[in-house]
Structure 1
Amino acid sequence: MYACKTWVLNKEEEERLRGWERRMLRAVYGGIKTEEGWRRRTNQEIEELYERPDIIACVKAQRIGWLGHLERMDAVRLPKMIIYRRPIGKKRKGRPRKRWMNEVEKDLRDMKLGSWKETARNRGEWKKIVKEALKRRW
């Protein structure tokens, strides 16, 4: 999960990850024996058994945590300079690619968190926000 802090996921990739996670959990928990034989567990049964956040909630919580870490960094640190820089030059043709910062800010807006920069400076408060993001159903 370390590298997921920098992922930018679209809906298709999110669904692929959720499908992969469900396949792994089906392999772990196995089927259900009935009178007629064995049957596969449904997605709802797997969610009830697992009782942990799904993989997308983990990815988004990791990204939010990394954003807080970046915000607390000194301005001369390379990761912070890279994340806040504005590229110069000509734009490519077509739709612009999704940017990491825009996606994380969108996640924070979905959580109804307006002024996140001030909150990110307080490490304890930011940790609560990351835990809330982990519990949330994205």
Structure 2
Amino acid sequence: MPLKLKGKIYKSVLRPVILYGSECWAVKKMDEKRVHVAEMRMLRWMCGVTRMDKVRYEYIRGSLRVAPVTEKFKGNRLYWYGHVKRRDEMHVTKRVLNLQVDVWRGSGRPKKRWMDCVRSDMKYDV
């Protein structure tokens, strides 16, 4: 099977499975790394390449013509944010987005929130 066709199969079958619901995830670096590793395993398997062959990820992506799935995470998150911002003020998703919760979280590092991810994505794209 030609690599171009394998890339199309990846884009139409595997990538939607990986990205399902990703617009609502507050993704940490460790989570992005795990998804990246799983994606590269699939791409290497599709190309018939092992890690022992020492083929660069960029070459594999270029031959299949696919973008990194982590970039798609950012695009999906920003798309969903725009969708929520266009909603009516009384819609539940818009009300939840504007919700302010004053809860004592304790000591330690604060948890990463979805809006933090959106803000960093907007900085990245600008």
TM-score range, shorter chain: 0.7 to 0.9
Unaligned runs of 5+ in 2: 1-18
The one-letter amino acid paired with 2:26 is V
1:7 aligns with 2:47: no
In the other structure, the counterpart of 2:123 is 109
Secondary structure in 2 matching 1:68: helix
Which of 18, 37, 46 matches 2:60? 46
Cα RMSD after superposing both structures: 1.9
Secondary structure in 2 matching 1:67: helix
How many residues align? The count is 107
Alignment of 1:50-65 (within 5 A): 50-65=64-79
In the other structure, the counterpart of 1:77 is 91
Name the larger-Rg structure.
1
Unaligned runs of 5+ in 1: 33-37, 113-138
Aligned mates of 1:5, 1:31 — CA distance in 2 = 31
Secondary structure in 2 matching 1:106: helix
In the other structure, the counterpart of 1:134 is none
**Larger helix proportion, structure 1 or 2?**
2
Q: Which runs of 4+ in 1 moved over 2 A?
A: 38-42, 88-93
The one-letter amino acid paired with 1:30 is G
What TM-score comes out, normalization by structure 1 length? 0.69
Secondary structure in 1 matching 2:21: helix
User: Quick check: 1:30–1:40 contact (8 Å CA) kept in 2?
Assistant: no
